[in-house]
A and B are shown apart, each in its own frame.
Chain A
Amino acid sequence: MAPASADPAGDLALQVLQALANTDQILSTEAFPSVPFETLKASLDRLSSRSMVVYEQIERQEAILEAEAEEIVQHGSHEARVFEAVHKALGGLSISDLETAIGDKIVTKVGQGKAFREKWIKKDDNKLVALVDSIEDVTRSQLRFIKETKSHDSKIIADLKKRKLITTAKVISFKISKGPKFALEIVKEETDLTADMLASGAWKTANFKPYNFKALGGHQVSGALHPLNKMRHEFRQIFFETGFTEMPTNQYIETGFWNFDALFVPQQHPARDLQDTFYISDPKTAGRPGPVSADDKQNYDEYFENVKQVHENGKYGSIGYRYPWAEEESLRLVLRTHTTSVSAAMLHKLAAKKGPDGRVPPVRYFSIDRVFRNEAVDATHLCEFHQVEGVIADYGLTLGGLMEFFETFFAKMGLTDLKFKPAFNPYTEPSMELFSYHKGLKKLVEIGNSGMFRPEMLEAMGLPKDLRVYGFGLSLERPTMIKYAISNIRELLGHQVDLNFIERNAAVRLDKD
């Protein structure tokens, strides 16, 4: 077994072991007084990681004399020197004689003042005379003590420090004793089991360095999915578990017709304002709704006319909005403001379908996709976000059925005890907002919007009167922001995201909390 490397630190480690050879404990202040503590500590750490020594760090304050204090130790304090000079001269000394006797202007000046205050000397005519026979030079003896022991009573230390006679410094030293694996030589330790060791059998005799169980493991170079898409995945799973088919929402550009008119949103509705909706300048205008493929046999002209009539004059038992409905407004292109435009197109297609019983078949549709609003951007608003949307069409649906559905749906996300509030939405009636009690915020928070699509919308499509359709919409960003405690939506969606956040965000697991 080779001894450890011959670098100075290695030598020092060996010296430490040597020093402990015949004794159980050493003090570094005694054994290695001149080795800087950092150097010594490195060697001790190396030895203690192998359990060869154990050590204890000792920290203490040391007092160090300044140059002036050294002089006092040698010659006495200024005032003592003044007294001695005055005392020695029989019949007193004049001030100029004193200075000559001491040979230092500052010592004379400072010492004189203090000696007066101590009432050691007094002025008699023009002479200084001693008042006492002997004095005790306290400062000198204190400093002498400090010079020897490097310490003193804390009050004295503080006083001398104030007088700028001493400084203090933290000094680290070590109490070192033998460890369980003490030896005079440092044995090489293996950090890992290698293929070579398996081949040679060296693993049987090798010494293994203990693993640091308090540290994190090695960094993983890994890819990551975006937290919003992880949330989308959770929602999609729930939709699949409950029998929903995904809608083709890959169509961002919509017509005023599908985005608004088909949903019975009147043409003067504020949602259609330039302030709220992005309109398209190029291409200029849309085509009238028409068949998408050759096998699409629906009568789109009739549908278009139905929509016009239900807005303008009323139809299907509705008095309508009673305003002149403009085709041009309907054919303006917009960036869709909701995915409900796609739901409308899907429901219109549904009207042409026939189930085994010859009736329009019940369906469940969903989508999670991007929508656009011409909003001023702030911490909670972006001009783009994701809408989670669900549609259930069936016969004999009731409002209580929609509530029952939400109980099942949201229980899968751990949300229970839902509350339902009447609300208003131009294309659903009844409309209701969903609330759930948020334990963190200690209040009811809105989690979604829902309702039954209006007959004006459905019957214009040619859907049977007794087919009722639930619609509901949720936000994808909001639950994600709550889940990951994000307060600014721009940190989630868009290019201002922090990649470190994406790389480190945990799985969503909606059912877990």
Chain B
Amino acid sequence: MPTISVDKYKLYEALGRKFTTAEFEDLCFEFGIELDEDTEDEERPIVNGEQEPPQLKIEIPANRYDMLCFEGIALNLNIFLGRTKPPNYRVVEPKDGILQTITVSPETSKVRPYVSGAILRNIKFTKDRYESFIALQDKLHQNLARQRTLVSIGTHDLDTIKGPFTYEALPPQDFKFVPLNQTQELTGETLMTFYENDRHLGRYLHIIRDAPVYPLILDSNRVICSLPPIINGDHSKITLNTTNVFIEITATDITKLDIVTDMMVTMFSEYCAEPFTVEPVKIISDHNNQTRVTPHLRPRVTHAEVDYLNSCTGLNESRESLCKLLAKMAYVARPSDKDPNLLEVAIPPTRADVLHQADIMEDVAVCYGFNRLPRSSPNNSATVAAPLPINKLSDIVRIEAAMAGWSEVMPLTLCSYDENFGWLNRKDDGKTVVKLANPKTLEYQVVRTSLLPGLIKTIRENKSHSLPIKIFEAADVVFKDEKSERRARNERHFAAAWCGKSSGFEVVHGLLDRLMLMLRTNFVAGSDGVKPDGYWIEELNEDTFFHGHAAAVYLRLGGKEQRIGEFGILHPTVLEKFDLRFPVSTLEINLEVFL
């Protein structure tokens, strides 16, 4: 969720009254935003000899792109409070009827195919407005535009450049320009090196770096306005004195391009000589059927069912009163002439988050007040509860182990590759373990196939605990399973570890016997021809364990025989790898076989 900082007293001024922090918090709560912090009583930074005025830091839901700046927050709250009517955003062509154009070259489809444009005429910037204008671009770049990969915005002083404009894509060595706030001319190639270590811009270079051609916005004199999505040219940069702003937006995603365009112009058209008007730009892009005029700013008109709105919210409001409620969220709604169950709802261009009448229904609930909604029974039908069988089984085993004097631990599921294999003297056959593609540390390379690493590490971290240490875990390990849709499956295991001055071999053996007794599984020794159901153990030669002091556990159930686990004294080389100084014996069995 993005957090937006706004000047506290300027916001209160825009809302027409003062609030106590608690009052403002309540307003936020009701609206569905969150007051994160009020810096009034905190130490605030001093910039150029002036202390920063108190800020409100407000958390905005991730889908409310229309509230990522001061202007949007003030506007939406004012509409919600009934102080303002939703603005009527208008596209106004220039008096001579000749639109600025951006002609798109087909080459751009190789790198960044879409563009839109808009012009804010006779805008009046102040320091606050200017900073907010820059900050909104930044927030949109970070959030909706996914770090500029999907969309990026360039803003220019229109009076420094001259249309018609072109959107082209040129090989990086074939152009050069002076980037914003620089003095030297750079080619596409040298620019990549120049900004490589730049803290701010470095992270965007990868978006186009390896492309055969780089996207460029040029004016009619071949002045490079910008190299999206990296940087604008210095030539056309906007300042506090700029009055005509040319906005060009490029994208790889056309839907998000339209949303970003609408946000940029709706938020700042307020400051134009004629508020809430925008001059459109014609995009000529025949090769991909994207020739159009942007932005259009027409509200999207849809229908909402009255019975749906009422029944989901538990309300019983008339069509008229639903329309009145919706006005608080900037909708223009009216009862339909054609169907008594329908409302005709005009969704303003600012509300890109509205996809379905469910979104309108939620806004009815917000406008009515979540905490005032009528309460009703949470369901109309009786249901019968049941535990998941494997959880019920492992709970039985957990409780029996605890009653036998063992303490439960819950180590992590993820571990390092070595902990899962090499350190246990086990080999990776390539068919067992699920590997992670993008772990941040070596601790999380694989999903464990055994509970042992976690138990052993827990012992290692408890060196100050008195001996013996007796711990267990009943939890899932994961194995590759090429036949299943998810290519992997969980398996519930039980494992225990003893650490003491002596090995504890018989102790873990005894725990196995105890659990088997509790699971109604008999000990069946030796092969005397008769093969009753039950479990038995056989000496095991595996390098995880000290030779001669390890056993495999076998189970015969309904005549079917299988190895279900093993126990033994950990091999001294295993102890050494995990940095343990005392002997450890472990037991690990598969519980799923007892289901």
User: For the complex, what is the distance from the CA of A111 to the CA of B355, rounded to whole Å?
Assistant: 107
Query: A253 to B488, Cβ gap below 8 A?
Result: yes
A270, A317, A429, A494: the one within 8 Å of B146 (CB): A270
Chain B CB within 8 A of A456 CB: yes
CB nearest to A403 among chain B residues: B375
B residues in contact with A497, CB < 8 Å: 409-410, 458, 461
A residues in contact with B582, CB < 8 Å: none
CB nearest to B364 among chain A residues: A430
CB within 8 Å of B: which A254-285 residues: 254-255, 268, 270, 274, 278-283, 285
B-binding segment of A14-22, A118-126, A420-428: A420-428
CB distance from A412 to the nearest CB of B (A): 14
Query: A333 to B487, Cβ gap below 8 A?
Result: yes
Query: B486 to A394, Cβ gap below 8 A?
Result: no
B residues in contact with A246, CB < 8 Å: 386-388, 391
B61, B382, B412, B434: the one within 8 Å of A493 (CB): B412
CB nearest to B476 among chain A residues: A250
Are A335 and B436 also in contact (CB < 8 A) when A404-B375, A422-B370, A456-B356 are?
yes
Chain A CB within 8 A of B378 CB: yes
Query: B356 to A455, Cβ gap below 8 A?
Result: yes
Chain A CB within 8 A of B485 CB: yes
User: For the complex, what is the distance from the CA of A74 to the CA of B434, rounded to whole Å?
Assistant: 93
User: For the complex, what is the distance from the CA of A242 to the CA of B492, rounded to whole Å?
Assistant: 27
Query: B440 to A376, Cβ gap below 8 A?
Result: yes
A residues in contact with B484, CB < 8 Å: 287
Query: A370 to B63, Cβ gap below 8 A?
Result: no
CB within 8 Å of B: which A109-157 residues: none
A residues in contact with B314, CB < 8 Å: 398-401
Query: B408 to A282, Cβ gap below 8 A?
Result: no
Query: A226 to B478, Cβ gap below 8 A?
Result: no
Chain A CB within 8 A of B319 CB: no
Are A420 and B371 also in contact (CB < 8 A) when A246-B386, A253-B447, A400-B376 are?
yes
A residues in contact with B61, CB < 8 Å: 423-424
Query: B384 to A243, Cβ gap below 8 A?
Result: yes
Are A280 and B365 also in contact (CB < 8 A) when A423-B61, A495-B411 are?
no
A residues in contact with B492, CB < 8 Å: 250
User: For the complex, what is the distance from the CA of A236 to the CA of B406, rounded to whole Å?
Assistant: 23
Chain A CB within 8 A of B380 CB: yes
CB within 8 Å of A: which B366-389 residues: 366, 370-371, 373-388
A residues in contact with B486, CB < 8 Å: 251, 253-255, 286-287, 333
Chain B CB within 8 A of A208 CB: no
Query: B436 to A252, Cβ gap below 8 A?
Result: no
B residues in contact with A316, CB < 8 Å: 356
Query: A226 to B409, Cβ gap below 8 A?
Result: yes
CB nearest to B477 among chain A residues: A252
CB within 8 Å of A: which B437-493 residues: 437-441, 444, 447, 454, 457-458, 460-462, 465, 469-471, 476, 478, 480, 482, 484-490, 492
Chain A CB within 8 A of B271 CB: no
Are A248 and B405 also in contact (CB < 8 A) when A255-B485, A335-B436 are?
no
Chain B CB within 8 A of A47 CB: no
A residues in contact with B482, CB < 8 Å: 283
User: For the complex, what is the distance from the CA of A226 to the CA of B457, rounded to whole Å?
Assistant: 16
CB nearest to B479 among chain A residues: A253
Query: B313 to A399, Cβ gap below 8 A?
Result: yes
A residues in contact with B434, CB < 8 Å: 253, 280, 282-283
Contact with B along A319-349 (1 / 0, CB 8 A): 1111100000000010100000000000000
Q: Interface size on A (CB < 8 Å)? A: 108
Query: A423 to B32, Cβ gap below 8 A?
Result: yes
B-binding segment of A75-83, A180-188, A498-506: A498-506
User: For the complex, what is the distance from the CA of A77 to the CA of B1, rounded to whole Å?
Assistant: 88
Chain B CB within 8 A of A416 CB: no
CB within 8 Å of B: which A199-248 residues: 221-226, 228-229, 236, 239-248
Best-surrounded residue of B313, B436, B441, B457 (most CB of chain A within 10 A): B436
B residues in contact with A254, CB < 8 Å: 486
User: For the complex, what is the distance from the CA of A502 to the CA of B462, rounded to whole Å?
Assistant: 12
B residues in contact with A503, CB < 8 Å: 407
Query: A288 to B485, Cβ gap below 8 A?
Result: yes
CB nearest to B371 among chain A residues: A420
CB nearest to A242 among chain B residues: B385
Chain B CB within 8 A of A431 CB: yes
Query: A223 to B406, Cβ gap below 8 A?
Result: yes
Best-surrounded residue of A221, A243, A250, A362 (most CB of chain B within 10 A): A250
CB nearest to B453 among chain A residues: A495
A-binding segment of B166-174, B221-229, B396-404: B396-404
A222, A399, A454: the one within 8 Å of B365 (CB): A399
Are A404 and B437 also in contact (CB < 8 A) when A252-B447, A333-B487 are?
no
Are A408 and B378 also in contact (CB < 8 A) when A252-B476, A384-B412, A493-B410 are?
yes
CB nearest to A284 among chain B residues: B487
Chain A CB within 8 A of B435 CB: yes
Query: B409 to A245, Cβ gap below 8 A?
Result: no
Query: B370 to A420, Cβ gap below 8 A?
Result: yes
Chain B CB within 8 A of A174 CB: no
User: For the complex, what is the distance from the CA of A153 to the CA of B410, rounded to whole Å?
Assistant: 68
User: For the complex, what is the distance from the CA of A468 to the CA of B362, rounded to whole Å?
Assistant: 14
Contact with A along B257-268 (1 / 0, CB 8 A): 000000000000
Query: B378 to A225, Cβ gap below 8 A?
Result: no
Are A281 and B435 also in contact (CB < 8 A) when A399-B314, A493-B412, A497-B458 are?
yes
User: For the complex, what is the distance from the CA of A242 to the CA of B435, rounded to whole Å?
Assistant: 39
Are A396 and B370 also in contact (CB < 8 A) when A228-B410, A239-B385, A502-B407 are?
no
CB distance from B130 to the nearest CB of A (A): 28
Are A456 and B355 also in contact (CB < 8 A) when A498-B462, A499-B458 are?
yes
B355, B378, B386, B438: the one within 8 Å of A314 (CB): B355
CB nearest to B410 among chain A residues: A226
B residues in contact with A320, CB < 8 Å: 355
CB distance from B473 to the nearest CB of A (A): 9
A residues in contact with B398, CB < 8 Å: 225, 229
User: For the complex, what is the distance from the CA of A314 to the CA of B439, rounded to whole Å?
Assistant: 35
Chain B CB within 8 A of A10 CB: no
A residues in contact with B254, CB < 8 Å: 322
Chain A CB within 8 A of B74 CB: no
Query: B409 to A499, Cβ gap below 8 A?
Result: yes
CB within 8 Å of A: which B397-437 residues: 398-399, 401-414, 433-437
CB nearest to B373 among chain A residues: A400
User: For the complex, what is the distance from the CA of A268 to the CA of B254, rounded to whole Å?
Assistant: 13
Query: A251 to B32, Cβ gap below 8 A?
Result: no
Are A253 and B380 also in contact (CB < 8 A) when A424-B32, A499-B462 are?
no
CB nearest to A285 among chain B residues: B487
Query: B438 to A278, Cβ gap below 8 A?
Result: yes
User: For the complex, what is the distance from the CA of A363 to the CA of B454, rounded to whole Å?
Assistant: 37
CB nearest to B386 among chain A residues: A245
User: For the complex, what is the distance from the CA of A503 to the CA of B466, rounded to whole Å?
Assistant: 12
User: For the complex, what is the distance from the CA of A30 to the CA of B374, rounded to whole Å?
Assistant: 89
A and B contact pairs by CB, cutoff 8 A, 23 listed: A224-B408, A243-B383, A244-B383, A246-B386, A278-B414, A278-B438, A372-B413, A372-B414, A394-B379, A394-B381, A396-B311, A400-B374, A401-B379, A403-B375, A422-B32, A422-B365, A424-B1, A432-B370, A454-B358, A495-B457, A495-B461, A499-B458, A503-B407
Q: Which residues of B contact A (CB under 8 A)?
A: 1, 29-32, 34, 61-64, 143, 146, 150, 253-256, 300, 311-314, 353, 355-359, 361-362, 365-366, 370-371, 373-388, 390-391, 398-399, 401-414, 433-441, 444, 447, 454, 457-458, 460-462, 465, 469-471, 476, 478, 480, 482, 484-490, 492
> 10 shortest A-B CB distances, which residue pairs?
A422-B32, A405-B378, A424-B61, A398-B314, A223-B402, A430-B362, A495-B457, A281-B437, A253-B488, A362-B381
Known: A383-B412, A399-B373. 15 other contacts (CB 8 A): A228-B410, A245-B384, A253-B487, A281-B436, A282-B434, A319-B355, A364-B383, A392-B379, A401-B378, A404-B377, A424-B1, A424-B353, A429-B359, A470-B378, A498-B462
